[in-house]
Structure 1
Amino acid sequence: MISVLFVFSVLFGEDRETATYKPTDVILINCGTAFNTIDSRGRTWTPEQPKVFAWNSVNVSFPSKASESELLWKDVPAVPYKTVRIFRSKFTYSFTVSSGWKFLRLYFFPSRYRSDFDAVKSFFTVTVNGFTLLKNFSVNSSDSGRLIKEFIVPVLGGSKTLNLTFRPSPNSLAFINGLEIVSMPDRFYTKGGFDDNITDVGSNGDFKIDDTTVLETVYRVDVGGGMNVKDTGMFRQWLPNYGSPLGDSGNVYIMDFTINYTEKTPAYVAPREVYTTLYVRPDAKDHMNLNWTWLFPVDAGFNYLVRLHFCETMVKITKPGQRMFSIIIGNQIAKAETDVILLSGGPLIPMYLDFRTLLASNTSKTGERVNLRLDLCPNQYSYDAILNGIEIFKLNDSRGNLAGQNLVPINPIMLGGDGKLDVFLIIILAVCSAIGLVTFFIVAILLVKRKKRKDNRAGTFKVLLKQYTYAELKKITKSFSHTLGKGGFGTVYRGKLSNGVKVAVKVMQDLKGTGEDFINEVTSMSQTSHVNIVSLLGFCYEGSKRAIVYEFLKNGSLDQFISRENSSTQDVKTLNKIALGIAQGLEYLHYGCKTRIVHFDIKPQNILLDDNLCPKVSDFGLAKLCEKRESIVSLIDTRGTIGYIAPEVFSRTYGGVSHKSDVYSYGMLVLEMVGAKNKEIVETAASNTSLAYFPEWIYKELENAEQTWRFGDEITREEKETAKKMVLVGLWCIQPCPLDRPPMNKVVVMMDGSLDALEIPPNPSMHISRGFIAECSSLSDGGEIIRAVDSANT
């Protein structure tokens, strides 16, 4: 557990800011707009001007806009992400700037824009003044829903022009939401640390960065920081870092001291918040000779510049020799006997050191990812090591190339003790890369032996998550004392982690054998990261005890929300946003992962709502992974819940089972949300009526201009149109023939659009066979089902 200790008073107001750097160049371009806009920090972004377009850029691009609802759900600021410029072919921006090194920041928001351009599926190359920054790059959706790529570019010599070129890959488009160019102090990141030296790790010499080098910012971490750090004039973003669940228990100290900047370490080097926060272990005597260890996933085959920030702020450390430690980078000693007091000149005086290290590839595999390892090893009988800030930059190779593997960097992993992980790697059963976001989780490894197989082969699966013991889960849930709900495969309990984070713990029924449903849920959820997908935090796999730990959402399920007594007065706009969010989550499962995920159990009970009523798809126990190019899913069982199951899942006479089965379930869910599907009829209908499965009465209600569905007589005309739009979308989704249903990416557009754009679909109940009704009614009432069917029906 991590605690925060405030030493003296904490006053981090703007009036306490030390002198900052004033850049000579600040260029902020909000691409695709025609007006000046102001961001959340009060900075003014200007529209693109013709003078920044090179001569070869005419008629090769067009602007567009993102959906307001998607910006809202993903908590993405409108500036500069609401508008975008999309490139059909090679396009070049030309900027006249002063001579010197520049920050170049590229802002991306992977979204489906109003021009029907899906940015997630775009691939392109970006170059600047002959350097390749990104190659065949795809802006996959990150946790925050946006991505900022920061580079450091030289504009030196006689030329004072920065040419930034976007080149779409074949059969693709390129795009950019925002451009930022900011100058920096002369050779700020290329001359070396406070001692004007870059130590070449692994040799006895120094390393020089010449004027033909471009750098990419890979990590910038305020170690121990947990606040929004205001930078020193260069608008850098510092990642807060309290450590990780696998790290030692420790304290974050926040000091209210005056930092004594010097000529060697000016105030613009790093904000005072960086130097006044640090992460320390509670009792140094218990940690003697144990390293601090950080692991930073990076691209192999490149040189990296590592900048470390230090400042001695502990009251009891006042003279040289009291705190000494070695800096080890990549298992090689970078600097032995480091003494911050001795090097800086005293307490409260900041300093920073620069190191160069080469991360060689272990294989011939292109785009290999490796860990850049940083260790701080305290000397014997010395106080524990300290570190205030970390910056890591990738340097271009000999061909002027910075492009590595197409992955979004993850938060660094910090380990305590001797830096060893207490988990084991397992062979992969199913790899579903959710836009590279599998790297956002700490590796947890388990070996699952598959018994009762005719060929007695072993099956294993790999997940990159925190693994809990059953004893830990009992502690988290207070011996499973607070039940949140029960499902077909287990019971969900409320819990709280040691850091205070509330969680939901789903304990599966005692399982024997393979536990396929458990494997389905863990492998599916662990490969996803989307605002509309519930976040999986860990799991337990201990004998027959199997459990899943995921984020706790206090508003409960959609089923509870629409069933409340005040449901008749629920806001139509809110329900429409919830329906849109669910559609976006399913669109992500179907199209946003390298391996498609078909959920097979979409229903209100499996949609959870957070504090802001943002919906999150949950319960992946019946999910199936399949390749995107495969239109048909192979099933030997029937999956889902009565009332939401697509006809083809029961009877192949309606077509093959595919991701369109989720579309059907979504349609039934939407109809239930607006009251167009009567849940009570489903639960009480006779076994020989199709009313239990298909809302035949809807078409008569559509003809009634005064129909208000579940919302009462007080709703406005606009709200009536929104409700009718939801009904029409639902009806399109429940067409009996899968080919007649729209795919989820089209459903998102329909749900986000207007009523005028929709036609009334055919009555689905006119095409349902009696055989299907009979087959449905032979099943047990309610709940989740898995029923084997004759293989001849597949």
Structure 2
Amino acid sequence: MISNALLAICILVSAAVLAEATAAYKPTDLFLINCGSTSDTTDSQSQTWTSDQKQLLTSNLENVSLSSDATYQEDVPQVPYMTARIFPSNVNYSFPVSPGWKYLRLYFYPTRYESGFDAASSFFSVTVNGFTLLKNFSADLTVKASKSKSLIKEFIVPVNNTLNLTFTPSPSSLAFVNGIEIVSMPDRFYSKGGFDNMITNVGSTIDFKIDNTTALETVHRINVGGQMVDEVRDTGMLRRWLPDDDVILSENSGIKPDVPGVKINYTEETPPYVAPEDVYKTYRMMGNVNNPEINLNFNLRWLFKVDAGFLYLVRLHFCETVPDVNGPGQRIFTIFLENQTAMLDMDVIAMSGGSRIPIYLDFSVYVGSESGPRPDLRLDLHPYTDVNPMYYDAILNGVEILKLNGSDGSLAGSQPNPLVSSVQTPNHVKTSIRKGDSHVLVITLAVVGSSIVLAAVLVAVIALLCKKKKKKDFPLHTTRSNPTDSCSPLTAFLCRRFSIFEIKYATNDFDEKLIIGAGGFGSVFGSVYKGRIDGGTTLVAVKRLGISSKQGAKEFKTELEMLSKLRHVHLVSLIGYCYEENEMVLVYEYMPRGTLKDHLYKRNKAVDPPLSWKRRLEICIGAARALQYLHTGAKHPIIHRDIKTTNILLDENYVAKVSDFGLSKVGPTSESQTHVSTVVKGTFGYLDPEYYRRQVLTVKSDVYSFGVVLFEVLCCRLINIENVPQEQSDLIRWVKSNYIGGTLDQIIDPDLAVDITLISLEKFCEIAVRCIQDRGTERPQMNDVVWGLEFTLQLHEAAQKNNEEGTMMDAEDLFSNTDDNCGPVVGEEPKAL
């Protein structure tokens, strides 16, 4: 009897423990606000939504807003979409919450409302606690680019004690919102990384982290191979997981296995709230079990539409449930993001520890603007065969893609292009036509036909006007005609136009005390001011050049065009511009560490210690990657033409960013071209001698200039100096002679004497000397330079480690895996097909 009682107790305890292990997450804070409603309401899933009249607004609702019901209901739930709060001016919601990260979801139904408000004409901005979530946003355009009639925008924001949500209508417009949802989430849910507490920085060796000064936007949350998982079936955070039919390259790609009776075994590293069981039970695999070699000819590929110019956190979910795959080494595959290897040999069983155990991995990847304002973020999976796995296959269960705010605290992206099929006739209008009002149909067709003819005439007139306008020296506008005109045609991809009032306010009317340097507009110089924008929350660098004599206008235009279309982690980010009242101003992200030249020559050693050899190598690698991107990352190569230590800036973490594109030129635009013929411009001492002699400009001209920078980094001395022996007056000649003579240790910066390792010094000089060859054909490509510098850093770290451990490794050992070029021989990197 006692034994039976003990057995029963054990069973109950085990059940309780199991229930606790798989329990849904219970949020500390949960707000469901039905905006514009006069009382609490319940939605179709039995969730209670509260009216926003219960003192959630800091101002009196009647004075600053109005509520209205939607005119008709078209494929949207009653709650919260059929009522809206409409704002003619700034209005702030204030929510008292506990400290931590919160999901913030905004609900929009862009339709016509009984008050006469038409949401199709609504443009507005939304901010929360200093972050810009939406800017000049159109819910109507966004909905028309999708397949639904309503819209949910989900953000993840860090909050201390109060969440302040502000709606700001654009000029001549109104703002609106239908619903607001706030849900707390587990501590460091996204900032800590995947189940292994890591975030892999794809395409970079720099550590990536997310701190509590970062906001995110959920761009995609996908249940791969499965059906939609709604908010109620989620794990307590009310997330929505959509099927991958719209993002998989082909709906027929791979197979979706059906394994009945699967029970997911959550772990401490992957607790139940990470993703619901429905996500881990379903997935896509490549299939072709009988002919696995077929899988080597294609990839599993997904294309996710995103905003250009942002960093993204990509979270991938995996779980093996097929009985045939139950041990490590059986199914191994490579993960590619943006055509870059994110993980070479992904083995789900080996990482998770067994079958039906879920895991998730986090990656960070930057998406540039080469493909336009709304490019695709590309995810590929391909079998990895080097270790002879049992199956040539790959799997994926779920994907989350989250956008990180830029340096200006903004998550706002570009407006999407509406789908033609999404512009549909409302149901009540369709019914009217179906009732036999043929005369109405005839009139409608006549009106539509006339409208098309009139539109064609208008397009022709506008085209002629634009053609004439392009003939002007500087086609930048200074007035805004409507809420959608957020930037000029010149900066149609990424830009922000500031008024001269905003610029003067940011710089205290160009206070000379705020000057932090002289910035170049190519060959024309101006002043750079330290400024503050967005109410003083964002530090910026403001580069100013007056245009009373029109001098520098061409360089200003060039830099604006270049940086509006280019985005890279090692290029200084352009935030915006101002062209008013004879002022030409560019606004950049603020680089607190100044220029590389400052650290080499102008530092106060008592306050600012010299750069270590490792840090100098990292700075050189960053600048080299920027040039590599310019030369190979865009549609046509871009030649910077003014690479020097002054134009390499350092952020607070000493990450190098190349600046000043006033002299940049687009390189050869066809395979038949090898160079660009142009007048010589640049900085004396850094100029490619071949370019100087023949006026023939190529990407190898940048390589030469970069080689000079490498010499400066090594020796910490100017290119030309006086009052020294003649053989030392010219830096390039001096380094080359010592390199040939084997006396490199006598020319390095004295501050590096203890820090530098001989083997890395030799490799570094080998790269630098190759860069400054007189003939461009003898210089390496920037791809080779990047590889060589990265390998130099590896050699330095390996040598340092051996020194610390008291072991010996000679040069032959260290170079055993290298070839005669700059980089190590690691075999051809797997590429997405």
C-alpha displacement of 1:305: 0.3
1:221 aligns with 2:114: no
Q: Is the contact between residue 223 and residue 241 of structure 2 (CA under 8 Å) also seen in structure 1? A: yes
Output the amino acid matched with 2:269: K
What does the per-residue CA deviation read over 1:130-153, in whole Å, with 9 as the maximum and x for residues that have no partner? 110000011123321101000001
Spell out the pairing of 1:631-646 with structure 2 (5 A cutoff): none
Spell out the pairing of 1:255-334 with structure 2 (5 A cutoff): 255=259, 256-284=261-289, 285=292, 286-288=294-296, 290-334=298-342
1:528 aligns with 2:421: yes
Output the amino acid matched with 1:333: T
Spell out the pairing of 1:356-755 with structure 2 (5 A cutoff): 356-362=364-370, 368-380=373-385, 381-382=388-389, 383=391, 384-407=393-416, 436-438=417-419, 527-532=420-425, 575-576=431-432, 599-600=448-449, 626=455
Spell out the pairing of 1:14-33 with structure 2 (5 A cutoff): 18-33=22-37
C-alpha displacement of 1:58: 6.3
Partner of 2:237: 234
Rounded Cα–Cα distance in structure 1 between residues aligned with 2:442 and 2:30: 40
Higher strand fraction (1 or 2): 1
| Alpha-carbon distance change, 200 to 576 in structure 1, aligned in 2, over 3 angstroms | same
Rounded Cα–Cα distance in structure 2 between residues aligned with 1:182 and 1:78: 21
Output the amino acid matched with 1:236: R
Q: Is the contact between residue 34 and residue 83 of structure 2 (CA under 8 Å) also seen in structure 1? A: yes
Rounded Cα–Cα distance in structure 1 between residues aligned with 2:127 and 2:431: 44
Rounded Cα–Cα distance in structure 2 between residues aligned with 1:378 and 1:586: 59
Name the SS of the counterpart of 1:120 in structure 2: helix
Partner of 1:96: 96
| Alpha-carbon distance change, 266 to 30 in structure 1, aligned in 2, over 3 angstroms | same
Q: CA RMSD in A?
A: 3.5
C-alpha displacement of 1:297: 1.6
C-alpha displacement of 1:337: 0.6
TM-score for both structures, normalised by structure 1? 0.50
C-alpha displacement of 1:237: 0.6
Output the amino acid matched with 2:190: Y
C-alpha displacement of 1:79: 0.3
Rounded Cα–Cα distance in structure 2 between residues aligned with 1:397 and 1:342: 36
Higher helix fraction (1 or 2): 2
1:349 aligns with 2:357: yes
TM-score for both structures, normalised by structure 2? 0.48
Rounded Cα–Cα distance in structure 1 between residues aligned with 2:440 and 2:49: 29
Spell out the pairing of 1:129-148 with structure 2 (5 A cutoff): 129-140=129-140, 141-142=143-144, 143-148=147-152
Rounded Cα–Cα distance in structure 1 between residues aligned with 2:437 and 2:39: 30
Output the amino acid matched with 1:208: K
Output the amino acid matched with 1:345: G
C-alpha displacement of 1:247: 4.8
Name the SS of the counterpart of 1:59 in structure 2: helix
Rounded Cα–Cα distance in structure 2 between residues aligned with 1:170 and 1:583: 40
Output the amino acid matched with 1:240: P
Rounded Cα–Cα distance in structure 2 between residues aligned with 1:207 and 1:293: 25
Rounded Cα–Cα distance in structure 1 between residues aligned with 2:454 and 2:250: 30
Gaps of 5+ in 1: 1-14, 408-435, 439-526, 535-571, 591-596, 602-621, 634-794
| Alpha-carbon distance change, 16 to 263 in structure 1, aligned in 2, over 3 angstroms | closer
1:46 aligns with 2:41: no
1:153 aligns with 2:157: yes
1:206 aligns with 2:210: no
Output the amino acid matched with 2:279: V
Q: Is the contact between residue 312 and residue 347 of structure 1 (CA under 8 Å) also seen in structure 2? A: yes
Spell out the pairing of 1:183-194 with structure 2 (5 A cutoff): 183-194=184-195
C-alpha displacement of 1:632: 13
C-alpha displacement of 1:57: 6.5
Rounded Cα–Cα distance in structure 2 between residues aligned with 1:586 and 1:355: 56
C-alpha displacement of 1:326: 1.0
Rounded Cα–Cα distance in structure 2 between residues aligned with 1:624 and 1:247: 39
Rounded Cα–Cα distance in structure 2 between residues aligned with 1:328 and 1:193: 17
What does the per-residue CA deviation read over 1:1-23, in whole Å, with 9 as the maximum and x for residues that have no partner? xxxxxxxxxxxxxx999421011
Partner of 2:121: 121
C-alpha displacement of 1:294: 1.2
What does the per-residue CA deviation read over 1:563-609, in whole Å, with 9 as the maximum and x for residues that have no partner? xxxxxxxxx9995596799999999x99xxxxxx96449xxxxxxxx
Rounded Cα–Cα distance in structure 2 between residues aligned with 1:53 and 1:599: 44
| Alpha-carbon distance change, 249 to 179 in structure 1, aligned in 2, over 3 angstroms | closer
Rounded Cα–Cα distance in structure 1 between residues aligned with 2:187 and 2:442: 49
Rounded Cα–Cα distance in structure 2 between residues aligned with 1:263 and 1:314: 23
Name the SS of the counterpart of 1:296 in structure 2: strand
Rounded Cα–Cα distance in structure 2 between residues aligned with 1:36 and 1:127: 26
Output the amino acid matched with 2:203: G
Q: Is the contact between residue 532 and residue 581 of structure 1 (CA under 8 Å) also seen in structure 2? A: no
What does the per-residue CA deviation read over 1:217-255, in whole Å, with 9 as the maximum and x for residues that have no partner? 000000001244521101101011246573545432233
C-alpha displacement of 1:400: 0.4
C-alpha displacement of 1:107: 0.2
Name the SS of the counterpart of 1:254 in structure 2: coil
Output the amino acid matched with 1:184: M
Partner of 1:779: none
Rounded Cα–Cα distance in structure 2 between residues aligned with 1:38 and 1:376: 43
What does the per-residue CA deviation read over 1:723-762, in whole Å, with 9 as the maximum and x for residues that have no partner? xxxxxxxxxxxxxxxxxxxxxxxxxxxxxxxxxxxxxxxx
Q: Is the contact between residue 199 and residue 205 of structure 1 (CA under 8 Å) also seen in structure 2? A: no
| Alpha-carbon distance change, 335 to 268 in structure 1, aligned in 2, over 3 angstroms | same
| Alpha-carbon distance change, 631 to 115 in structure 1, aligned in 2, over 3 angstroms | farther
